[in-house]
Amino acid sequence: MKIELMTNILGDNDAAAQANQEFFDAHGILAVDFMGSPGSGKTSVLEQVVRSLDDVTIKVIEGDVATANDARRIEEAGAEAFQINTGGMCHLNAPMITRAVERISLAATDLLLIENVGNLVCPAAFKLGAHFRLVVSSVPEGDDKPEKYPVAFRDCDGVILNKIDLLPHLSFDVERFWDLCGQLQPQAVQFSTSCVTGEGIAQLCQWLRERHSKLVSG
């Protein structure tokens, strides 16, 4: 009975996700879901992207259990943000995104960046309708993160290794980390970033530009 219930929940969610993506396609909006543990630096990465792509119209959906702290940070960086507070739920789902989109003015929007709730378990099961999912991991979390949370890293389109400015100060095997990622999802694009030094942000922004250009060109 529990399996049937979960199947129904995921089936309804997937239908909503498909409708979301069809909407984004029709309006030429590239949607990207950013997933990662609390403290991995998801919001910091988004702040850097917003500041760097100042010639691109970006809207951001922020998912958190409580507070609008991250939405305020994004707006201070220069993009309109919409906060979703899940009230205890450990993930966003597609209907939440649908309702948020209905309340956001997406006219002339190029990128819709979605920061999922800080978690590497629950969000992996729920598609949102985004074109791509990027997993943000960070050096302080350890190089075995993909091994501990294989579903998240297997089902992503790209991995961002963040806080690389800390590499000289911590025991972190970069080669092992990327090898584990490659074993789980060899097609995933890889980025190494620091929101302190700015390293790797230009490459991430260029990738986003290229994905958006491909979307609108058909």
Q: What are phi and psi of 153, to 5 degrees?
A: -80, -25
Mean pLDDT of all residues belonging to the chain: 95
Q: Where are the domains of the chain?
A: 2-217
Backbone dihedral region of 80: left (phi > 0), alpha (psi from -120 to 50 degrees) or beta?
A: beta
| C-alpha–C-alpha distance, residues 201 and 19, integer Å | 31
pLDDT in tens, 132-151: 999 999 999 999 999 999 99
- Is residue 213's pLDDT more than 50? yes
| C-alpha–C-alpha distance, residues 89 and 115, integer Å | 14
Question: How many CB atoms lie under 10 A from the CB of residue 171?
Answer: 8
- The answer to whether the beta carbons of residues 162 and 61 sit under 8 Å apart is no
| C-alpha–C-alpha distance, residues 27 and 161, integer Å | 31
- Give, to the nearest 10 degrees, the angle between helix 201-217 and helix 42-52: 70
- Please tell me the class of the 2-217 domain: alpha beta
- Residue 10, pLDDT score: 83
Sign, Cα dihedral of 176, 169, 38, 141: positive
| C-alpha–C-alpha distance, residues 94 and 8, integer Å | 14
pLDDT in tens, 1-41: 344 545 677 889 999 999 999 999 999 999 999 999 999 99
Confidence of residue 218 (pLDDT cuts 50, 70, 90): confident
Cα 1 to chain centroid, rounded: 32
Q: What are phi and psi of 17, to 5 degrees?
A: -65, -40
Question: How many CB atoms lie under 10 A from the CB of residue 210?
Answer: 11
| C-alpha–C-alpha distance, residues 22 and 45, integer Å | 27
Confidence of residue 88 (pLDDT cuts 50, 70, 90): confident
pTM of the model as a whole: 0.94
Cβ within 8 Å of residue 45, ≥6 positions away: 34, 136, 160, 162, 193, 195, 201, 204
Task: Identify which has the larger pLDDT, 168 or 2.
Answer: 168
